Amino acid sequence: MLALRLVRGSRPLVQLRRLLVAAAAAGVGFLLLCVLGHAVGHPEHSSASALRLLWCVLPIAATVQFAVAVARTDPATRPRPGLSSIGLGPARLTAIAAASTAVACTLGSLVALLLFLHLRGDLTGLPFDGAAAGPLAAGQPLPLAAALTLLAIVPVAGAAAAGLALRPRTGTPAPEGAARPVPTGLPWGVALVAVGLAVETYASRGGGEGVALPGRFDGSPAGVLAGWVLTAIGLALAGPGLTHLCGRLLQAVRPGAVRLLAGRVLMDEAGRIGRPLGVVCAVLSGTLAAATLYGAGDGTAFGPLTALGAGVVLACTTASLLTAALESRQCRTHTAEALARIGAPPTVLRTAALLRAGALLAVFAPLTWLIGALAALPLTA
């Protein structure tokens, strides 16, 4: 009940972020129910239904990542002086964050269930002249237990991930301005990217059994898809290290005060914004490779469910990056106030933010294009 009261009493921007989490959960829930509809309508193709369910892991992971990012920026779950005296210590705030995440994801799952039942004609008759009757197995009984189990995946996973991310940690806390360790995942990330590209190249030349994606996007060798997964994991691991490197480059060659400020912020926030930035880089490079590979076709390679899943992944990863940037800004509030007290002009913070954005764009944009081009090259040769 306390979590529900905190949700109702939050500011409009916080409510908007929770609604976006609910919308992402609704998209994933609809995909999962469509997989269930395919399994009900085609019981003889159980392996194809299992593959469709497996491909739903990507949008589920993107949605959970976004839900955790929103939970981290929720003011209701931020420790404040005096809360422990009324029973709202760190452990209780973590439980509230998990409950709030579960509420938002459950709302999205319920919306997905209502939409799915409406398209099947279980509520008010078949809409759109029965266009969705075949894919959703309209007219056949829907196993309620299976539907509820699938719809519970995102709320349970989101709540568990939020609880783990915000759990109280023992040891010396990191106050703002304290030195943070240098990210060490850059060499491993580069190695995984290289291995992933090598696997894609080898698999594309050797052929192999095709793996069908939901919709009409089929015939991709399993090795190519495994290579892309390795590449994506490598970019996520390398993101913090690359962000830290951007901060060092900004401070190179006789830097002024603005460049020093921008570079130091990037180095301090490398762990917070580097990983979601690497994930966005991986998603965009995969999108670029797919567009290069199938852009010359007749437009039928992407079915509606494939487009929905890709849209959920792209939207959630981008929103996670923006939310991480917002969290970074919130953590620098005291620094901004200190600069204002000593008479620093407001343009200093804006210029430093533009420098940080320009440095990240100068490094990650060419990297995204290069990875996407290298991933598509062996498949189009």
The pLDDT tens digits for 305-340 are: 788 888 999 999 999 999 988 888 877 878 788 888
b/e code 250-278 from CB counts within 10 Å (16+ = b): bbeeeeeebbebbbbbbbbbbbbbbbbbb
Give the confidence band of 210 by pLDDT, cuts at 50, 70, 90. very low
Amino acid at position 175, single letter:
P
E-strand spans in 107-240? 210-211, 220-221
Give the CA count within 13 Å in the CB-facing half-sphere of 177.
5
Mean pLDDT of all residues in 53-79? 85
Question: Quick one: residue 217, left, alpha or beta (phi over 0 = left, psi -120 to 50 = alpha)?
Answer: beta
What is the DSSP secondary structure assignment for residue 299, as one 8-state letter? S
pLDDT recorded at residue 170: 59
Cβ contact 52:38 at 8 Å = yes
pLDDT recorded at residue 4: 55
Tell me: pLDDT of 83 over 70. no
Task: List Cα–Cα distances, 297 to 11, 194, 217, 351, 376, in angstroms.
Answer: 47, 29, 12, 44, 15
**Integer Cα distance of 49 and 225 in angstroms:** 18
Give the confidence band of 85 by pLDDT, cuts at 50, 70, 90. low
pLDDT recorded at residue 327: 83
Could you count the other beta carbons within 10 Å of the beta carbon of residue 148?
Answer: 11
Give the CA count within 13 Å in the CB-facing half-sphere of 290.
19
**Integer Cα distance of 226 and 276 in angstroms:** 21
3-state percent helix, strand, coil for the chain, nearest multiple of 5: 75, 0, 25
